[in-house]
Amino acid sequence: MEQIGLLAIQGAYRDHVKFFDKKRFKCSLVRNNSELKHVDKLIIPGGESTVITKYLRKYNMVDSIKEKIDDGMKVWGICAGSIVVSKIVDGKKNDLSLIDIEVKRNAYGRQKNSFIVNCDVNFLNLKKFPHYFIRAPRIIKTGKSVEILNEFKGDPICVKNDNIFITTFHPELTERSDFHEYFLERF
Q: What is the pLDDT averaged over residues 21-42?
A: 89
Query: Is the predicted pLDDT of residue 107 greater than 80, yes or no?
Result: yes
**Which of 38, 41, 32 is closest to 62 using CA atoms?**
32
| Per-residue pLDDT tens digits for 158-174 | 999 999 999 999 999 99
Q: Which domains does the chain have, with CATH numbers?
A: 4-186 (3.40.50.880)
d(CA 7, CA 171): 16
Helix (H, G, I), strand (E, B) or coil at 179: helix
Position 119 scores a pLDDT of 94
d(CA 166, CA 156): 10
DSSP per residue, 146-167 = PEEEEEETTEEEEEEETTEEEE
Start-to-end Cα distance in the chain: 14
Q: What is the pLDDT averaged over residues 175-182?
A: 92
Position 137 scores a pLDDT of 96
DSSP per residue, 37-83 = TT-SEEEE-SS-HHHHHHHHHHTT-HHHHHHHHHTT-EEEEETHHHH
Query: Is the predicted pLDDT of residue 37 greater than 80, yes or no?
Result: yes
Position 175 scores a pLDDT of 87
**Which of 43, 44, 39 is closest to 1 using CA atoms?**
39
Position 46 scores a pLDDT of 93
pLDDT band per the 50, 70, 90 thresholds, residue 33: very high
Q: What is the pLDDT averaged over residues 23-38?
A: 89
| Per-residue pLDDT tens digits for 112-153 | 778 999 999 999 999 999 999 999 999 999 999 999 999 999
**Which residues are catalytically annotated?**
79, 170, 172
